[in-house]
Amino acid sequence: MAAKTPEQITDDLLRPLSGISGRYAVSAAFLAGVIVAALCAFFWQVYAGLGVSGLRWPVFWGFYITNFVFWIGLSHAGTLISAILRIANATWRRPVTRCAEVITVFALSIGATFPVIHLGRPWLAFWLFPYPSERGLWPNIRSPLLWDFFAINTYLMSSVTFLLLPMVPDLALIRDRATGWKKKIYGAVALGWTGTPKQWHRLETAMHIMAIAVIPVAVSVHSIVSWDFAMAPVPMWHSTIFAPYFVAGAIFSGIAALILAMALLRKLLRLEEYLLPIHFENLGKLLLVMSLLWFYFVFAERLTAWYGNETGEMAVFWVTQHGSYSPLFWAMVACNFLIPFPILAIKKLRTITGTAIASFTIVIGMWLERYLIIVPSLSHKYLTYSWGAYRPSWVEITITAGTFCAMGLLYMIFSKVVPIISIWELKAGLKERPQAAHAVAQPNEAGAD
């Protein structure tokens, strides 16, 4: 890294913004195609009725709510991690924070659509909003769905701010190099940044405040998501462990998602000199800790259920341990622990490829976890006569696929308009005071390039 001069950094990191490769166009088109298909599926569901999904009595929540929890979980990658790293002032974080924070914003926006997608009458979703209606009707604040509404909105707003603030200097940099209409647009979003010490000072203070403020928000979000379940007297839902269990799972899947994203960016945007093995090594260690934590939570949850031996819970317990849901259950354990643990524990395997593979299985495993929390419980509530089974329909599958593609496409577009690695923070890594960055921002020097 020391080999790189500020100018090289600027050039390397701005390169991805210029020009669109054929490969980029093709994959973007593909992703867009799937997204359009998902939109069609959704509108068909609105038109025909929720019956086109696989939902049924008594399994009233399925793929949609699974996706909701999954995406909200992923969103804990960025903001939370980068906030922690910022506060801990871990210098290796510098190339990582932005692509992490982007994950948060996109995953959160995607996750937040599912509570609407799954409604029986989505056109009335606005009744969840607290607004003075002509009938003086306010939503029911006792409902965890309302808590979701507030928590997710708060988290989304703070994450967006948390992403945008440190982008400003880089946007200014692009503005200064750009010409014509681009200059206008970047100029507008650069908020008149000139890099005066005063501005730098304000930016850093703001980042410090945000970094601290965003952590409790992030924790609250997944706690509340967990309470959507824990508040209902449903076997294996009604548990005090859910909030920390969900938060840990969220960070777990979040880090995995981050590692995957970084590995991809590294290849696709040729950022080999910036996203270094050390980053994957460190995040890999973090992931290892979370994997152990996850296993600990699952063990604790299962042990208490089994030891308590309450009839209702045991039905769900056994159906997941060795009943019809056991293949999925053991696949989840393999994906979240058995496979990643050795990879991440053994230093030799904790390579970029290694951590990427582990992260991949973890992302799958964590999706399965959410599915296995929701469906087996609902299909095996107390009265055995009312037991049922659930199978998703093509509509749910298409919409689910659509949201994964949406994540990819958004990420691709983002990396085309904003440097995915924070230029000024990297440079700041070179010198202690960010003078260099300040210097680059000088028009005359820019002209001299």
Partner 1 sequence: MGHQWGMAIDLDRCNGCEACVVACHAENNISTVGEDQAARSRVKHWIRVERYYEGEFPDVSVKFMPVFCQQCDAAPCEPVCPTFASYHTSEGLNGQVYNRCIGTRYCANACPYNARFFNFFNPVWEKPLNLQLNPDVSVREVGVMEKCTFCVQRIKAAEIQAAAEKRDLKDGELKPACVQSCPTRAMVFGDLSDPESEVSRLANSSRGTRLLGELGTRPKVTYLQRDSWHGSENA
Partner 2 sequence: MERRDFLKISAVAGATAALEGCGNPDHQLIRFVPEEDMLPGVATWKPSICTLCPAGCGLLVRVMQGEAEVVRNGQLGLLKMGLAKKLEGNPAHPVNQGKLCPRGQAGLQVTYHPDRVKTPLARNGPRGSGQFREVSWDDAIKQLASQLSDLQGAKPDGTLALVTSPLRGQRKAIVNAFAASFKNAALVEFAFFDDGVIRAANAASFGHAMPPTVDLGQSNYVISFGADFLGTWNSPVAQSLAFGHMRKGRPGQRGKFVHFEPRISQTAASADEWIPVQPGAEGALALAIAHVIIAEKLRPAAAAGHAGSLIESWSQGLPDYAPEKVSAQVGVKPEKIARIAREAAAHDPAVAVIAGAATAHTNGLFSALAVNALNALLGSVGKPGGIVFAPGSPAAKDAGASLQTLISRISSGSSSVKSLLLYNANPLFAAPAAWGVRAALDKVPFIASFGSFIDDTSAQADLILPDHSPLESWLDDVPISGSAKTVVSVAPPAMNPLHDTRAMADVLLDAAHQVGGDLAKALPWKTYDEAIQAEFTALYKSQASRSAKDADEFWTNAKDQGGWWSAEESKAASIGVSGSGAAPKNAAPQFDGGTDQYPFHFLPFASQLLYDGSLAHLPWLQETPDPLSTAMWGSWVEINPATAAKLMIKQGDLVQVTSPHGSLEAPALITPGIAPDVIAMPVGQGHENFTRYATGRGANPISILSPALVEGTGSLAWASTRVKVQAVGRGKLILFGGSLSEASPELKHR
318 binds, among ligand MGD, partner 1, partner 2, none (CB under 5 to 8 A by kind): partner 2
Length of the chain: 449
Q: x/- string (CB under 8 A) for partner 1, residues 109-138? A: ------x--xxxx--xx-xx--------x-
Q: What's the closest the beta carbon of residue 319 comes to partner 1, in angstroms?
A: 16
275-281-284 Cα angle (round to 5): 110
CB 401 to partner 2: min, Å: 25
Site string for ligand MGD, 122-161 (x = CB under 6 A): -----x-----x-x-x------------------------
- Measured from the CB of residue 123, what is the shortest distance to ligand MGD in angstroms? 9
Which option in ligand MGD, partner 1, partner 2, none does residue 314 bind, with CB closer than 5 to 8 A by kind? partner 2
Please, which residue, 22 or 136, has the CB nearer to ligand MGD? 136
Helix (H) or strand (E) holding 61: none
Size of the residue set binding partner 1 (CB under 8 A): 41
Give the C-alpha separation, 202 to 402, whole Å: 40
- Show Cβ contacts of residue 328 under 8 Å, excluding neighbours closer than 6 positions: 320, 368, 371, 372
Task: Count CA within 13 A, CB hemisphere, residue 32.
Answer: 8
Query: How many alpha carbons lie under 13 Å from residue 72 in its C-beta half-sphere?
Result: 32
Closest CA to 264 of 286, 282, 280, 284: 280
Smaller CB distance to partner 2: residue 123 or 181? 123
- Residue in 1, 232, 303, 346 binding partner 1, rule: CB under 8 A: 232
Q: Which is nearer to partner 1, 260 or 305 (CB)?
A: 305
Q: Are 440 and 173 in contact (CB under 8 A)?
A: yes
Per-state percent for the chain, helix, strand, coil, to nearest 5: 75, 0, 25
The span from the CA of 141 to the CA of 144, in Å, is 8
Collapsing DSSP to helix, strand or coil, 292 comes out as helix
Least separation, in Å, of the C-beta of 121 and ligand MGD? 9
> Which residues share a beta bridge with 59?
56
Applying CB under 8 A, which residues contact partner 2? 123, 311, 314-315, 318-319, 323-324, 380, 384-389
State the first-to-last Cα distance of the chain, in angstroms, to the nearest integer: 21
User: What is the footprint of partner 1 within residues 360-379 (CB under 8 A)?
Assistant: 378
Binding positions for ligand MGD, rule: CB under 6 A: 127, 133, 135, 137
Binding positions for partner 1, rule: CB under 8 A: 48-51, 54-58, 60-61, 115, 118-121, 124-125, 127-128, 137, 139-140, 142-146, 228, 231-234, 378, 381-386, 388
